[in-house]
Structure 1
Amino acid sequence: MNLDPPDFSYFMHDGLRLAYFDEGDAAGEPVLLIHGFASSASVNWVYPGWLKTLGDAGYRVIAIDNRGHGKSDKPHDPEAYHVPLMASDAAALLDHLGLPDAHVMGYSMGARISAFLALGHPHRVRSLIFGGLGIGLIDGVGDWDPIADALLASSIEDVTHERGKMFRAFADQTKSDRLALAACIRTSRDPISAEEIGRVDVPALIAVGTKDDIAGSPQALAALMRDARALDIPNRDHMLAVGDRVFKKAALDFYAEIAAA
């Protein structure tokens, strides 16, 4: 299995045409991957090697392009991007594929979507892996309005906010719809309370780079959950942690441990 993007398919949900891929062993345990803000299924999961890693290990690998991203429809109304709506897209994909449940892995915004999926549709989630999001799931991940402003700037040269410039460059690199992303970032930070996350009872792995200045502590989040463990991804920031070998090995070990139990 190589690192080229696979063929994408489409389904309709909430009036939107949404893209996904479904690869690997059709008889394998399903893993649903949910990418981060300004990314896509290919950028988050194919190019960094996750599709290959999970596929080679015998899993059925499913990944959605979130609304506003990748090959999916891209509404420009911020009200379309509240996280429970994006979580309902993921649940609808499982319905579309006839799957009662799956292991769910999300990165950054995708981890937040995964958490809402586990809260709103608990019977659909076998386990959770949160990448690039720790206690920021509860406490918030800072002021992201400057990122929306950076996405709407006429040129990246006009952007002075450091994090805004980083995400603007990422959006330009991925040839994203910047109006859709600006709408998304304004409403996709719906909070979850400590009490709510404490109700999640499936096994969870929370993996954050030690140089990540966005995610917040994975240990602090794990302490709020019933069956969670934290993983420090050494010397990786928010952008580079996603494809790290330590992260991939920990994920495979986590799934093997669940299977053995």
Structure 2
Amino acid sequence: MSASENVPVVLLHGWAGSFRETWQSTGIDALLEDGGRSVVGVDLLGHGDADKPHDPEAYARLDTWLLERLGNEAPVVDAVGFSLGAMTVLGALIAEPTRFGKVILSGIGNGMLEERDAEEGKKIIAALEGTGDPSDTSAQIFANYADAPGKDKAALTAIMKRPRPAPIDPNVLASITNDVLVVIGDKDFTYPADKLASAFPNGRLVVLRNTDHFATPESFSFIDAVLEFLGAV
């Protein structure tokens, strides 16, 4: 058994997803296990089987929540995060880089290094609360996800209202020596991600052709990139 096979792989889904819906549904967890890797499935706070507080402040430090959640796992884990899960992994990586081996960040881009567009967030929250513009199809997509069976819409809205951290200083990422793979679709609303990937000394970028944000986890090219990067092929 190689050293990498002794390191569990943590899979973190995006907003309104879950371990089952995002990772098990595509079979990526089984493919990783077939490749000799053990998998730790995590439902982020507000999702799946996790607690679902309705206070936005409860979601202010999801990175700290994740590190506490991983406290009973192996001392070092590899991690794959998508969208909100990638933001959470990135925050945890910055806080405690020695807790992680290889890290894959998908569905986030250069916006992590820039001031957030508050107006876009307000439109999504309005759609979630039923007060938005019905013709704003981008915002309505989020409302449709939150209205799906089994979702706690109040918790998902609270996540969108959570306090947001300041943009990440690229100099902070320059001190992180972990192998980091950034994967993003060229049709993703968070595209591009070149500056994010290049901020890491050992960062790499994979761009998925003709792939939007929500289709990323089920993309064959994404799954291939994950398996190859984590040595599970």
TM-score, length-scaled by structure 1: 0.80
Q: Does residue 1:111 correspond to 2:75, yes or no?
A: no
2:186/2:192 contact within 8 Å kept: no
- What do the CA deviations read for 1:192-244 (whole angstroms, capped 9, x no partner)? 2222222221001000011112x231222112111101001111100111111
2:11/2:39 contact within 8 Å kept: yes
1:218/1:231 contact within 8 Å kept: no
- Cα 1:120–1:174 shift into 2, 3 Å: farther
In structure 1, stretches of 5+ residues that fail to align are 1-26
Q: Give, in angstroms, the shift of residue 174 of structure 1.
A: 4.8
Aligned counterparts of 2:116 and 2:47: Cα–Cα separation in 1: 21
Q: Which residue of 208, 225, 232 corresponds with 2:200? A: 225
1:60-79 → structure 2 map (5 Å cutoff)? 60-79=38-57
AA matched with 1:195: N
Number of residues of Structure 1 aligned to a counterpart in Structure 2: 226
AA matched with 1:66: L
Determine the structure 1 residue equivalent to 2:29: 51
Determine the structure 1 residue equivalent to 2:10: 32
Q: Which residue of 130, 138, 143 corresponds with 1:153? A: 130
Q: Among the aligned pairs, what percent are the same residue?
A: 29
AA matched with 1:180: A
AA matched with 1:41: F
Aligned counterparts of 2:116 and 2:149: Cα–Cα separation in 1: 23
Q: Give, in angstroms, the shift of residue 140 of structure 1.
A: 5.2
Give structure 1 regions of 4+ aligned residues with deviation exceeding 3 angstroms.
Answer: none
Determine the structure 2 residue equivalent to 1:133: 108
Aligned counterparts of 2:217 and 2:116: Cα–Cα separation in 1: 18
Aligned counterparts of 2:150 and 2:125: Cα–Cα separation in 1: 16
Aligned counterparts of 2:110 and 2:17: Cα–Cα separation in 1: 22
In structure 2, stretches of 5+ residues that fail to align are none
- Cα 1:187–1:197 shift into 2, 3 Å: farther
Determine the structure 2 residue equivalent to 1:199: 175
Aligned counterparts of 1:208 and 1:174: Cα–Cα separation in 2: 28
- Cα 1:216–1:140 shift into 2, 3 Å: farther
Determine the structure 2 residue equivalent to 1:168: 143
Q: What RMSD in Å do the two structures reach over aligned CA positions? A: 2.1
2:49 counterpart SS class: coil
Structure (1 or 2) with the greater strand fraction: 1
- Cα 1:171–1:160 shift into 2, 3 Å: same
Aligned counterparts of 2:57 and 2:164: Cα–Cα separation in 1: 12
TM-score, length-scaled by structure 2: 0.89
Question: Which one has more relative contact order, counting CA pairs under 8 Å at least 6 apart?
Answer: 2
